[in-house]
Amino acid sequence: MTTLIYSHPACFEHRPGPGHPESPERLKAVLSALQTPEFAALKWQDAPLGTREQVELIHTPAYIEEVTEVAPRSGYAPLDGGDTVMSPGSWEAVMRCVGAACAGVDAVMKNKASNVFCATRPCGHHATPSRAMGFCIFNQAAIAAAYARDFYNLERVAVIDFDVHHGNGTQDAFYKQPELFYASSHQSPLYPGTGSRTETGISHNIVNVPLPPGCESALFRSRIEAAMLPAIRAFNPQLMIISAGFDAHELDPLAGLNLEDDDFRWITEELVKIADTSCKGRIVSTLEGGYSLQGLASGTAEHVRVLMNA
């Protein structure tokens, strides 16, 4: 068994407009990084389309209706006042994101892959149950967690999010659901402004690790070791989903943390160790942010290299 990569050409066709940082070029950079000889052992599959039933595990019917109505036949249509924009290809792209994450759950639960990386876009972790936000339309990481709980009867599913932004949408969706755990490291202050340590969920199932602007490797690792890893171990997940954003990279133009490629290797190794102990290594990782094409490509390569050798 090896690492399974889900991707789909439709994910290039979500086009939020010229100059938008969440561009199709991002996916091109990720795929180029993973198509070098070093990664020849990866197994690739087309991401299936997600289903409305899967989306409804997290999002309200009214919001899903809104997304279908806003989706344009030509040009662009804003969903949340400008940050999150739909183009004619956006609906299929987001449904491929949802389908990839849920198929990833199927693959690891049925022992068809040791772990999964979803090379899909757009990102999802800012999308709340009822609202698009921050480039995100549907929240594929949260949907995959709820899908695993409902269809595999899991009692403890964890989403770990190292994107530089707080995944307010995932936190909102999980806040009162003790079987779903969310841990996030993120720059603070920064968009979207949530993610303080005092936001702990109904049963300490939410763990926020805010990091100051300028934070470098040493501080990042010590905060993760002190505040995040013990909480994940204590939750003892039966499945781990990773919201893998690479915008905490020092090259990223949208944020101010100074992580290096090796930090993405390090945190992935730490998460793999916990998954090996708690859930037979079952990890489904899904791409979130990362807006320096170079930082995104090298960070993703570090992350997937660890998954591939796990």
By beta-carbon proximity to Zn ion, the closer residue of 126 and 282 is: 126
By beta-carbon proximity to Zn ion, the closer residue of 106 and 247 is: 247
By beta-carbon proximity to Zn ion, the closer residue of 161 and 260 is: 161
Q: Does 247 bind Zn ion (CB under 5 A)?
A: yes
Is 140 in contact with 118 (CB distance < 8 Å)? yes
Please say if 126 is a catalytic residue. Answer: yes
Stretch that binds Zn ion, among 82-90, 108-116, 247-255, 296-304 (CB under 5 A): 247-255
Min dist CB 252 to Zn ion, Å, is 8
Is 137 in contact with 94 (CB distance < 8 Å)? yes
Min dist CB 179 to Zn ion, Å, is 26
Stretch that binds Zn ion, among 40-48, 54-62, 237-245, 299-307 (CB under 5 A): 237-245
Q: Which residue is nearest to Zn ion (CB)?
A: 289
Stretch that binds Zn ion, among 5-13, 183-191, 217-225, 240-248 (CB under 5 A): 240-248
Residues numbered 146-175 forming contacts with Zn ion, rule: CB under 5 A: 163, 165
Is 206 in contact with 175 (CB distance < 8 Å)? yes
Q: Does 92 bind Zn ion (CB under 5 A)?
A: no
Stretch that binds Zn ion, among 14-22, 83-91, 205-213, 242-250 (CB under 5 A): 242-250
Distance CA 235, CA 227 (A): 13
By beta-carbon proximity to Zn ion, the closer residue of 22 and 260 is: 22
Distance CA 36, CA 61 (A): 42
- Compose the 279-298 pattern: x for residues touching Zn ion by CB under 5 A, - for all others: ----------x---------
Cα first-last separation, the chain:
10
Report DSSP state, residue 199: -
Min dist CB 164 to Zn ion, Å, is 5
Which residues, 6+ apart, have CB-to-CB distance to 9 below 8 Å?
none
- The SS3 call for residue 141 is helix
Q: Does 245 bind Zn ion (CB under 5 A)?
A: yes
Beta strands of 120-225 (E only): which ranges?
157-161, 180-187, 206-211
What tokens appear for 81 in the block? 């006042």
- The SS3 call for residue 159 is strand
Site size toward Zn ion, by CB under 5 A:
5
Is 157 in contact with 237 (CB distance < 8 Å)? yes
Is 303 in contact with 287 (CB distance < 8 Å)? no
- Compose the 21-60 pattern: x for residues touching Zn ion by CB under 5 A, - for all others: ----------------------------------------
- The SS3 call for residue 128 is strand
What tokens appear for 209 in the block? 């690790």
Judged by the rule CB under 5 A, the positions of this chain that interact with Zn ion are 163, 165, 245, 247, 289
> Catalytic site residues?
126
